[in-house]
């Protein structure tokens, strides 16, 4: 009888300690796999190509999206009216923001001073346009268009060759 009692106590102790190990292992923080560093891809386009392929078409799309035309026919107010038209202007604003990022990648920055400030100013101006497309406010597009134009003029005055 003593053997049975002793085996019962050992079995109960092993069972309880096993449950304790299971609970303890569930409470320990799990180590997350280290995130792989983002792949760095080499820049492909030149500054001139970014300007011609992304910046100018995107800026022109923003500038042309809201306008007033006065001619012999009278006054014509142009602005995006449908969701699709607003989305197109928003895509141009987003592309302009991203192009500012591209101008700061790799060996594209001419310097780390004014070049960086002007690229960020262009992105900030395009952000105003993007916000205006979300809110569907033509006056916001006009404000952004003026700021985008100013950032372009400032940069070209200093850097255009």
Whether 50 and 119 have beta carbons less than 8 Å apart is answered as no
- The residues spanned by each domain of the chain are 47-159
User: For the segment 81-90, what is each residue's pLDDT rounded down to a tens digit?
Assistant: 999 999 999 9
User: For the segment 23-52, what is each residue's pLDDT rounded down to a tens digit?
Assistant: 766 665 655 656 666 667 788 899 999 999
Residue 28's pLDDT is what? 56
Distance in angstroms (rounded) separating the CA atoms of residues 19 and 22:
5
Which residues, 6 or more positions from 99, have their beta carbon under 8 angstroms from its beta carbon? 50, 54, 55, 58, 122
| Matching CATH number, 47-159, of 1.10.3720.10, 1.20.120.10, 1.10.510.10, 2.60.40.3620 | 1.20.120.10
Whether 129 and 148 have beta carbons less than 8 Å apart is answered as yes
In the chain, the percentage of residues whose pLDDT exceeds 70 is 76
**Confidence band for 2, pLDDT divided at 50, 70 and 90:** low
Distance in angstroms (rounded) separating the CA atoms of residues 67 and 131:
18
State the Cα torsion 34-38-39-41 to the nearest 10°.
Answer: -170
pTM for the full predicted model: 0.72
User: For the segment 123-159, what is each residue's pLDDT rounded down to a tens digit?
Assistant: 999 999 999 999 999 999 999 999 999 999 999 999 8
């Amino acid at each position: 009888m003593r053997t049975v009692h002793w085996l019962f106590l050992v079995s109960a102790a092993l069972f309880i300690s096993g449950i304790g190990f299971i609970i303890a292992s569930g409470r320990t923080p799990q180590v997350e796999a280290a995130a792989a560093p983002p792949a760095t891809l080499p820049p492909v386009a030149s500054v001139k190509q970014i300007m011609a392929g992304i910046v100018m078409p995107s800026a022109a799309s923003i500038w042309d999206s809201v306008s007033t035309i006065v001619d012999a026919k009278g006054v014509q107010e142009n602005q995006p009216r449908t969701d699709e038209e607003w989305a197109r202007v928003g895509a141009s604003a987003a592309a302009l923001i991203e192009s500012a990022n591209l101008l700061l990648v790799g060996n594209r920055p001419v310097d780390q001073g004014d070049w960086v400030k002007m690229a960020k100013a262009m992105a900030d101006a395009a952000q105003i346009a993007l916000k205006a497309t979300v809110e569907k406010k033509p006056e916001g597009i006009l404000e952004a268009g003026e700021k985008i134009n100013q950032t372009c003029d400032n940069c070209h005055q200093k850097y255009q060759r």
